[in-house]
Amino acid sequence: MVGVPRSKGCLACIQRRVKVGNLQSYTISFFVFFRCDETRPSCQYCERRGNVCPGYTRNRKFYHFSASSQHVPSRTTSPPTQSSTSIMALVTAKEAHQYATIPRASMDDSVMPGLVSKALDRQCRKGFCDFVDAVFPNIYYSYSTRVELPWFEIAQYDRGAGIAMEWGFRSLGSLQLGRVNGNQRQILASQEMYGRGLRYLVQAVRNPATVGTDDTLGAAILLGIYELMNATEENSWLLHSRGISHLLRLRGAKRHASGYGRTLLLSFRGLLVYEAFTRGEACFLESEEWRATLPETLEDEERRGKSCGLGQLMDYAFNEIAQCPGFLAKTKTLVASSRTTDTEREDLMAAINSSREVLGDVEIQILAGIKADHEGNKKESQAFFGLIPRSIKNASVKFTLQGVHSAIALLRQLSVVLVSDRSRQEAVTPWLKLGPCKKDWKAIKNAGEIARAQENTGLDSTGPQQQGSPNVWHDRIALAMGMPEKG
């Protein structure tokens, strides 16, 4: 039949440009495509992602031909018969495929080129703002009043963004519109927009002139958040997060102390810590290069009159929480080794205890700010909350304290593990070198579980494990600075 695509995959896989056959992956960390298995009535790829497979029945396509595109017979030829006219209106399958790959210009586009594209762009940017309001309201409004360039201003007024970032806005905006309207086809369209954004992002990353720009990092973050919300495959969220980490390190810490860069870092830093926990390795944000930018950041906020006590305490807490994945990884390594020296163990214990003390001070000051607000002390309450909207004050405090409490609990357990390991090493005879005993391994296991949401809930490579209402769990993990809720 004319216009039928050659691919035999389901509608969802065709929309995402997923090919039919075996697994095929690409070396670029932003790209992971998997092929449709053609299982009927619904493909297993859609089932694994938790989506409703739209099936394999395709809509017919109709092609409009203007008078100029029709064959005009010469005067010497006989007028066309009804049969020949019908044949002229048809095209071969090959020609139909060629027409299908060429975007059709609408009447609006013919009269005013770019009109449809601009309308789509405006609609999707508005949808993006609705998406932020629906999914990340607390984390967004907790920092948007402090930064120079919040996401809403970027989405509504910045029309010079790179093409990858444009498709990032469109993919999230269309995803939100599709979910609100219950429109599966709109969600499928958002997946195709996401795929286009990925292709342009890879081009930007490969280009030395654009790899370090704000737009490239912004596009990576938008597409990473899309993957978090509508994962295309099990490990794709981690691939995006790793790619964003590379871009941040390439740009350097100072570019994220203020301005656009500061907004980009705040948007994703909690998920970077969570990724480090998932991989069992240190987070690069624990390094002195990144920690040292905090004074400059706070001075910039003071100078612009956007500073607030809660915001400062959140930043101080994050500097300590960013070290937690590294503390956990180092503790496991030291306990697993029979050659650990007392100096190595004591240095790690000192660093852990120092971080725990800072987090304890942060907790005390947050509780003092809450008390002042409850007692009606307007001056202290204003200094503590600043411009943070009243509608999100409680959630901001609640989730921030959850992150602080989880971090303190983890650090306390790591200290216990290290003390236990030192006692074990002292009891071992000089000629007998034993590995960690079962009791120590159990303590390490418990330490790891504290870094998880609760017992038997692992760190999921597809993204943060949902806890409680699906409307708040992404928001919570971001405000908790990457620390899962302590069970």
Q: How many residues does the chain have?
A: 487
Dump pLDDT digits (tens) for 231-246: 777 778 888 999 999 9
| pLDDT in the model for residue 94 | 34
| pLDDT in the model for residue 254 | 96
| pLDDT in the model for residue 434 | 39
Helices in 230-377 by DSSP H: which ranges?
236-251, 259-279, 288-291, 294-303, 309-321, 324-336, 342-374
- Is there a contact between 273 and 320 (Cβ–Cβ < 8 Å)? no
- Burial class from Cβ neighbours inside 10 Å (0-12, 13-18, 19+) for residue 369 reads buried
Beta bridge partners of 36: 20
Rounded Cα distance, 318 and 359, in Å: 9
> Which residue stretches of the chain have pLDDT < 70?
1-7, 15-35, 49-50, 58-117, 158-160, 425-472, 485-487
| pLDDT in the model for residue 34 | 46
| pLDDT in the model for residue 486 | 56
| pLDDT in the model for residue 115 | 52
Residue 355 CB partners (closer than 8 Å, separation 6+): 320, 323, 324, 327, 407, 411
Vertex 359 angle, CA 289 and 283, to 5°: 40
- Is there a contact between 406 and 484 (Cβ–Cβ < 8 Å)? yes
Beta bridge partners of 20: 36
For residue 399, what is the enclosing H or E element? helix 393-427
